[in-house]
Chain A
Amino acid sequence: MGNTITEKILMAHTGFSEISAGQLINASVDVALGNDITAPIAIREFQTAGGKKVFDRDKVALVLDHFTPNKDINSAQQCKTVREFAMEHGITHFYEGGQVGVEHALLPEKGIVLPGDLVIGADSHTCTYGALGAFATGVGSTDLAAAMLTGELWFKVPSSIKFVVYGKMPRWVAGKDLILNIIGRIGVDGALYQAMEFTGETISALPMADRLSMANMAIEAGAKNGIFAPDAITEEYVKPRARRPYKFYASDADAVYSQIIEIDAGKLEPQVAFPHLPSNVKGISQAGNVKIDQSLIGSCTNGRIEDLRIAAGILKHRKAASGVRLIVVPATPFIYRQALLEGLLEIFLNADAVISPPSCGACLGGHLGILAAGERAIATTNRNFVGRMGHPKSEVYLASPAVAAASAVLGRIASPEEL
């Protein structure tokens, strides 16, 4: 009986020569990640347990990206706690200020996470790195503390759901639409405790940016991880970035899956997740007339240069509709500079967009774009829970950068086809 890619990566991080779904294991960790919200609790736990030294200063990443630039005094204190810890322990991958980016865009971009790695992060969207063929999963702060101390963590080996995607994606349909469609099909707990493995001819042709935005939202279906078998596209992305060896794993032909789901991407149209669950998905043609107050283009789901190019392509020579606050958040300083060099920021400014510094702030209702009661936003982010981006009586609609840009121009949820 063969193994899935998820099982193989986990097994490679244990002393076992066999592994199967459901088994509880202790596995070694290649990268342990925390941010300004989750790391302070991990640091407290680490210190309370008498921790004197992190297991490997090159394998801990601390990224101050959530309530930064510091939104208030408490946030500044939290960042200070993490900064002091990073200095004390000589953490190699510590990012703040003008070097910080949204963690799940930053770590792949910097080559900190690589194919075959086992990555844990005290942030639920750590599953993003599955796009590179790594096992990556979100955990809590105590888990992060344990990993920083021992370099190991306990896991239950997940069973896997295999998604086989075929057909050519129509114009304006992206990885974001594919993952929203999948979550709409299986529900917010449709992959609970399981791995989501994305395969098929459409996936093989899918650019890395789209893979990253798909893996990013595996958690929105309850999954432990989302994963893509690494290939030539992965190699092209990883090779210039990696500063240590990495390994490609692939599922065996006779690997066991709990479910196999086939999807014809050729039949998809742009998707929108209505409030207040990421599974409340409709095709754009069924969206109706939903007026918006804000359009947010950014986040660990869709704040990459490819996303900004798509948005700029639509916004060029156009403006955000009167009454719509358009906010663009380049996810990292590199992306910000690239957007500047390519003239994208000029297009955004001409469209009356606010260009935000790299930050998670607006996506989780922290700062830099909060909604008032009764307001609606279309966002390229990953969650639309009650109160996610502000007042509990505000609404968030999730979509691709193309739809968010077109909606900003028309002042209502709209397809780029309408322009």
Chain B
Amino acid sequence: MIFKGKVWKFGDNVDTDAIIPARYLNTSDPAQLARHCMEDADPEFVKKMNAGDIILGGENFGCGSSREHAPIAIKTSGISCVVAKSFARIFYRNAFNMGLPIFESRQLADAVSEGKEITIDSARGTITVAGTNQQFTISPIPPFMEQLIADGGLMKHIAKK
């Protein structure tokens, strides 16, 4: 798949309380959760971002709680995918299980500034930065995880089996 969008940058250790604060967890309605996406990291984020944009994190993105509300809020907000230097493990599996595309790239975060447009080619495993000849590689994922994505998430994968 190809993901092309503007980058919103966040630092290291973006936790799930920042992605979707617990005060909003009295619902699991995706549309309501999406309204508060990234609120405690950037209260204006939902107003500023556009559908198709990309979140770019540092180390350990999505640390903390197991709340799947976090990837649900991000996906439903219209963010197309998340790229980070590394992901916290529960967020990582949640994203694959529920179908939010995420990519690991150790170099990208330090190389691009906020607002730049990037293109991710998940099949080729590359990320390019618009207006430059910079190209980065995505850390490869195991075949099983690729299958999860191809099947549309864990539950559909199980149904297929």
A-side binding surface: helix, strand, loop or mixed?
loop
Find out whether the CB atom of A139 lies under 8 angstroms from the CB atom of B60.
no
Find out whether the CB atom of A138 lies under 8 angstroms from the CB atom of B90.
yes
Find out whether the CB atom of A41 lies under 8 angstroms from the CB atom of B69.
yes
Cα A142 to Cα B68 in complex, Å, equals 8
Contacts A37-B67, A140-B93 known; list 17 others, CB within 8 Å.
Answer: A41-B28, A49-B155, A49-B156, A49-B158, A67-B25, A124-B64, A139-B66, A143-B94, A146-B154, A154-B144, A188-B13, A189-B63, A192-B86, A222-B89, A365-B23, A386-B41, A392-B21
Total count of chain A residues near the partner, CB < 8 A: 50
In B9-29, the 8 Å CB interface with A consists of 13, 15, 17-18, 21-23, 25-28
In A173-227, the 8 Å CB interface with B consists of 188-189, 192-193, 219, 222, 224
Given contacts A386-B18, A387-B40, contact A142 B97 (CB under 8 A): yes
Given contacts A37-B25, A49-B158, contact A138 B66 (CB under 8 A): yes
Cα A188 to Cα B62 in complex, Å, equals 11
Closest to A143 in B: B97
A123 within 8 A of B: yes
A6 within 8 A of B: no
Give residues in A with beta carbon < 8 Å to B.
Answer: 24, 37-38, 40-41, 44-45, 48-50, 66-67, 71-72, 74-75, 78, 121-124, 126, 138-143, 145-146, 149-150, 154, 188-189, 192-193, 219, 222, 224, 277, 364-366, 383, 385-388, 392
> Chain B residues near A139 (CB, 8 Å)?
66, 90, 93-94
> Chain B residues near A141 (CB, 8 Å)?
68, 94
Interface string of B24-58 (1 = CB under 8 A from A): 01111000000000001101000000000000000
Cα A45 to Cα B155 in complex, Å, equals 7
Shortest CB distance A4–B (Å): 17
Cα A124 to Cα B153 in complex, Å, equals 21
Cα A377 to Cα B156 in complex, Å, equals 44
Find out whether the CB atom of A222 lies under 8 angstroms from the CB atom of B63.
yes
B112 within 8 A of A: no
Cα A72 to Cα B98 in complex, Å, equals 28
Find out whether the CB atom of B28 lies under 8 angstroms from the CB atom of A189.
no
Find out whether the CB atom of B89 lies under 8 angstroms from the CB atom of A224.
yes
Partner of A189, one of B21, B27, B86: B86
Cα A364 to Cα B89 in complex, Å, equals 20
6 contacts across the A-B interface (CB closer than 8 A) = A75-B26, A143-B93, A143-B97, A145-B155, A189-B86, A388-B22
Find out whether the CB atom of B15 lies under 8 angstroms from the CB atom of A142.
no
Shortest CB distance B85–A (Å): 10
B107 within 8 A of A: no
> Chain A residues near B156 (CB, 8 Å)?
49
> Chain A residues near B18 (CB, 8 Å)?
385-387
Given contacts A224-B89, A392-B40, contact A74 B66 (CB under 8 A): no
Given contacts A142-B155, A149-B158, A387-B21, contact A193 B89 (CB under 8 A): yes
> Chain A residues near B142 (CB, 8 Å)?
24
Given contacts A189-B86, A364-B22, contact A385 B15 (CB under 8 A): yes
Shortest CB distance A122–B (Å): 6
Cα A49 to Cα B90 in complex, Å, equals 22
Find out whether the CB atom of B94 lies under 8 angstroms from the CB atom of A140.
yes
